[in-house]
Amino acid sequence: MEAQIAKLASAMQTVADRLGTLETDVRNQLDQARTQPATQQQGRSQTDDVNRRLSEAQMKKLESATARLEDEIGNMRQRTQVTVDLNALVQGLRPNISFDVVRVDIKQPGIIDLTFQARNLGPYAAVVEFPELILATKPIPQTGTIEGQLTQAQDYSFKAVRMGTLLPSQPSNHAYTLALTDPRRIEQPLYYRITFRAATDPTVVATATRLLRGRLLEKEVQELSVLSFNRLGELTVGQQRP
């Protein structure tokens, strides 16, 4: 759908450019017609010939055609600008947030603090919900089967907070606490995948839904405004001191 909107904008701009060229040609004809009677004073026969070829009625017809072209070009450029603006709106609806590990702290056996920094790189405010954490004894892929996966509430607990609303360009640090049921697991490599789900501010989504009515379904706008971000890593724990 985004590609179709961009293609439409390009096509409309092409038509506007062609109309602009046609307008220039018509204006050149008008200028030539108006200057010829003043410059061609060599004889009455030449003047009469020019007047026969381009009568006053023809001049008015050309001027009327030029006026229509100017109106059409103005309308076309306005529609093109609206389409481009709507395309930018569609692009901006998708949340764009970076999530980076700041530090991993192991304060006591089996208790690990994970601190992430989130930064909103998009043009609109976004809301970040509670993250989901998966632990495993083998490296975890972005998608697909997970080998050696641990069971939450049985093998570990995860205490998380809701980041809430992030304004554009706003950085925000958040710490999450992971508690292993068996502290001895901390002596072996552990791998994690944490998933952050973000949604564009509801007010922006409501406005976009209204502006895009007839171009995108409300369901499609909602789908564009939600995105999940996965971050993978290894808990570097090693041998811990009491």
What is the mean pLDDT, run by run of 10 residues, along the chain of 242 residues?
52 58 64 58 54 58 60 53 58 90 86 93 93 95 92 93 90 92 88 95 88 83 91 68 34
Final residue before a domain boundary, out of 59, 76, 93: 93
Residue numbers of the domain that contains 85: 2-93
CATH at residue 115 = 2.60.40.10
Q: What is the pLDDT of residue 177?
A: 93
Mutual orientation of helices 56-93 and 202-211 as an angle, nearest 10°? 150
pTM over 0.75: no
Which residue, among 56, 63, 128, 70, has the nearest Cα to 99 in the 3D structure? 128
**Helix ranges restricted to H, the chain:** 2-39, 44-53, 56-93, 202-211, 218-224
Residue 240 located in a structural domain: no
Q: What is the pLDDT of residue 241?
A: 36
Contacts of 174 by beta carbon, 8 Å cutoff, 6+ apart: 115, 116, 117, 118, 161, 163
Distance CA 103, CA 115 (A): 5
- Type of residue numbered 125: A
Q: What is the pLDDT of residue 82?
A: 42
Q: What is the pLDDT of residue 21?
A: 66
Radius of gyration of the chain measured on its C-alpha atoms? 33
Q: What is the pLDDT of residue 25?
A: 65
DSSP 184: G
Final residue before a domain boundary, out of 93, 122, 137: 93
Sign of dihedral through CA atoms 152, 156, 157, 162? Answer: negative
What does residue 132 show for φ and ψ, rounded to 5 degrees? -115, 135
Number of domains the chain contains: 2
Q: What is the pLDDT of residue 176?
A: 92
